[in-house]
């Protein structure tokens, strides 16, 4: 076979060549083998440890075989109705996609040309950086306040100077866990009227049972709010996300999306999950209780824990996070080292709130690490 590798690489876009490869977190299997531990608990990806509603699982099981060979609905009517009931957003203004990441990518296809600027406060969800790079866009970063809330003046000043196409506000923010104040975000939206403000509410349900959600801001022309079934609804593997935007913008969005972004099994399970209010409340209540308990226990071990409105805690372990996380893996616990995230500090770690028994296992492991290498 002729060697075509040089030509093939020549074809790759420069903006992709410049990017660093994505380094995924360690898997349970990897940690079990590498450190020879029997029990491994993964608290690194903000997944829902309770799993999806049994009603969603039944809906998935009920899918008829003949449905699998035909394309799904472009506008999944059952799912759009369920989203309308869950959020109060009119279905004429809602789009669905392959996870919130999929929706966000389409939003970029719709709005962002190479060289356009995207404004975002750091630290935040790392995948934004990937999408910005892939589209050949330019990032404009602002800092945050000490409690990691957005700095409104800073954002507005950057908007006036840089004229970004898009502003991204993640609330509750990954990895810091804080939910933004609605009044402050409103101020940004109103001052930055020539930019689209994308509010990422992947963790919106956890924000004090939606009391701190920003979903009421949907009626602004320049606002898009995104949500997902991957977190509070425990359906990360089915890849369902959605967003609300103005009817005019949605019309354009639909030209830019793939025609069948969500499969029928996914839409049926997602609809059932969104309608199972009782199960959702069980997940939210259990997560809030465990989050509070875990925060207290970690603080007792001398770790700085930031208040969280999500299903994870952002902490400072007061030592090198990379070593700390490695020591935890030796004890069978996988958490996320955030020290390499732009805008994070050397000691920052993100810990997903697990089930009670998993959190106990984590606390024991952290105690062992603190006694052994310090930190805390």
Name, in order, each residue with C-beta under 8 angstroms of 115's C-beta and a sequence gap of 6 or more: 136, 137, 138
CB of 257 to ligand PLP, least distance (A): 15
Within 276-335, the residues that bind ligand PLP by CB under 6 A are none
Mark the segment that binds ligand PLP (CB under 6 A) among 24-32, 94-102, 301-309, 355-363. 94-102
- Number of alpha helices (DSSP H) and beta strands (DSSP E) in the chain: 14, 13
- What helix, strand, coil percent values describe the chain, rounded to 5? 45, 15, 40
The contact mask relative to ligand PLP for 100-119 (x = CB under 6 A, - = no) is xx------------------
Mark the segment that binds ligand PLP (CB under 6 A) among 20-28, 93-101, 133-141, 147-155. 93-101
Q: Are 72 and 216 in contact (CB under 8 A)?
A: no
CB of 264 to ligand PLP, least distance (A): 18
Question: DSSP string of 282-341?
Answer: HHHHHHHHHHHHHHHHHHHTT-EE---SSSEEEEE-SS-HHHHHHHHHHTTEE-EE-TTS
CB of 375 to ligand PLP, least distance (A): 25
Question: DSSP string of 215-244?
Answer: GGGGGSTTEEEEEESSSTT--GGG-EEEEE
Q: Which of 25, 49, 123 is nearest to 294 (CA)?
A: 49
Residue 230 as a binder of ligand PLP (CB under 6 A): the answer is yes
CB nearer ligand PLP, residue 119 or residue 370? 119
Residue 43 as a binder of ligand PLP (CB under 6 A): the answer is no
Residue 369 as a binder of ligand PLP (CB under 6 A): the answer is no
Residue 46 as a binder of ligand PLP (CB under 6 A): the answer is yes
Name the residue whose CB lies closest to ligand PLP.
99
CB nearer ligand PLP, residue 228 or residue 295? 228
187: left (phi over 0), alpha (psi -120 to 50) or beta: alpha
Name, in order, each residue with C-beta under 8 angstroms of 124's C-beta and a sequence gap of 6 or more: 168, 170, 173, 174, 175, 343
Mark the segment that binds ligand PLP (CB under 6 A) among 96-104, 113-121, 266-274, 318-326. 96-104
Within 200-219, the residues that bind ligand PLP by CB under 6 A are 200, 202
Identify the residue among 89, 108, 125, 233 touching ligand PLP (CB under 6 A). Answer: 125
CB of 160 to ligand PLP, least distance (A): 26
Q: Are 175 and 315 in contact (CB under 8 A)?
A: no
CB of 16 to ligand PLP, least distance (A): 20
CB nearer ligand PLP, residue 144 or residue 331? 144
Identify the residue among 48, 174, 178, 263 touching ligand PLP (CB under 6 A). Answer: 174
CB nearer ligand PLP, residue 100 or residue 110? 100
Cα distance between residue 335 and residue 25, in whole Å: 8
Mark the segment that binds ligand PLP (CB under 6 A) among 97-105, 115-123, 146-154, 329-337. 97-105
Q: Which residues bind ligand PLP (CB under 6 A)?
A: 46, 99-101, 125, 170, 174, 200, 202, 228, 230, 236, 241
């Amino acid at each position: 076979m002729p060697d075509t590798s040089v030509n093939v690489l020549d074809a790759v876009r420069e903006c992709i060549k410049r990017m660093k490869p994505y380094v995924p977190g360690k898997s349970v299997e990897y940690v079990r083998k590498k450190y020879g531990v029997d029990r491994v608990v993964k608290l690194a990806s903000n997944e829902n440890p309770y799993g999806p509603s049994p009603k969603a699982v039944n809906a998935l099981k009920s899918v008829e075989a003949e449905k699998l060979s035909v394309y799904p609905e472009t506008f999944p009517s059952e799912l759009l109705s369920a989203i309308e009931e869950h959020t109060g957003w009119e279905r004429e203004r809602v789009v669905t996609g392959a996870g919130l990441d999929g929706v966000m990518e389409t939003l970029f296809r719709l709005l962002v040309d190479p060289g356009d600027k995207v404004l975002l406060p750091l630290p935040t969800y790392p995948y934004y950086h990937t999408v910005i790079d892939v589209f050949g866009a330019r990032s404009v970063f602002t800092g945050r306040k000490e409690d990691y809330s957005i700095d409104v003046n800073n954002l507005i000043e950057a908007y006036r100077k840089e004229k970004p196409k898009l502003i991204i506000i993640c609330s509750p923010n990954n990895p810091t866990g804080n939910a933004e104040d609605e009044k402050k975000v409103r101020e940004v939206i109103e001052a930055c009227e020539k930019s689209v403000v994308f509010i990422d509410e992947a963790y919106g349900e956890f924000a004090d049972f939606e009391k701190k959600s920003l979903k009421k801001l949907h009626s602004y022309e320049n606002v898009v709010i995104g949500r997902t079934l991957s977190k509070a609804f425990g359906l990360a593997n089915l890849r369902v996300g959605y967003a609300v935007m103005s009817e005019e913008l949605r019309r354009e969005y639909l030209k830019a999306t793939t025609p069948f972004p969500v499969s029928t099994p996914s839409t049926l399970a997602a609809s059932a999950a969104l309608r199972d209010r009782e199960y959702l409340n069980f997940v939210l209540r259990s997560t809030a209780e465990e989050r509070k308990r875990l925060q207290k226990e970690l603080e007792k071990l001398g770790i700085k824990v930031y208040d969280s409105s999500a299903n994870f805690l952002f902490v400072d372990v007061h030592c090198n996070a990379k070593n700390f996380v490695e020591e935890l893996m030796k004890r069978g616990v996988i958490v996320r080292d955030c020290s390499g995230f732009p805008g994070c500090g050397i000691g920052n770690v993100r810990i997903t709130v697990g089930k009670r028994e998993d959190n106990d296992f984590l606390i024991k492991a952290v105690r062992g690490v603190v006694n052994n290498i310090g930190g805390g």
